[in-house]
Amino acid sequence: MPVLMPAFLIYRPGIYCYHLFLMAPLEVVIRPAKAEDASDWLRLRMLLWDQTPEAEHRAEMAEISGHPETQLVLVAAEGDRLIGFLEASIRNFAEDCETDHVGYLEGWYVEPEFRRTGVGRILVANAEQWAHDSGCIEMASDTELGNEDSIAAHIRLGYHESARLVHFRKDLA
């Protein structure tokens, strides 16, 4: 497993880009997604949300890409290969939040061999900075009840559990 070395932030107005130096020698760059990242972004989304059909992923990606003022997609790139991504949004409601302008971690994924190296932490830090710069004073997220790895990752990043929900549905046809 790569070992995390010091990271530094390059700031340009509207763009946050971290360079992580991992032993190996390996350089991971965290940056906003570009149009040419679409196929790797789709591949990573399908690994995270594997029960979602590809057509639905593509529709969601088009919707996200069409709203840059309220949607953010960051990628972690090792050379030309994407090894992780994060999607965040600005919501006007989030469970247990007190404001009506909330940054929200919609989902993030880092390939298994790069987990616990700081890549996910810096993806989330970038999303939090974007939300703050967009006027948010709260950040929220969710995960499935049984996803203990995700729950632990959220806690390591300073999030606290605010509620547990079980959703129900019934066909009325």
With the C-alpha atoms ordered 27, 33, 39, 43, is the resulting torsion angle positive or negative? Answer: positive
Tell me, which fold does domain 4-156 have in CATH?
Answer: Aminopeptidase (3.40.630)
What's the pLDDT at 2?
39
Residue given tokens 């050379």 in the structure block: 79
Break the chain into its structural domains and give their ranges: 4-156
pLDDT given for residue 25 in this prediction: 53
Q: How high is the pLDDT of residue 20? A: 54
DSSP state of 36: G
Nearest CA to 105 among 87, 120, 92, 125? 87
Average pLDDT, the chain: 87
The tokens describing 171, both together, are: 């066909």
**Tell me: the pLDDT tens digits for 109-134?**
999 999 888 899 999 999 999 999 99
Write out the two tokens for 120. 């996910």
pLDDT value, residue 117? 87
Confidence of residue 38 (pLDDT cuts 50, 70, 90): very high
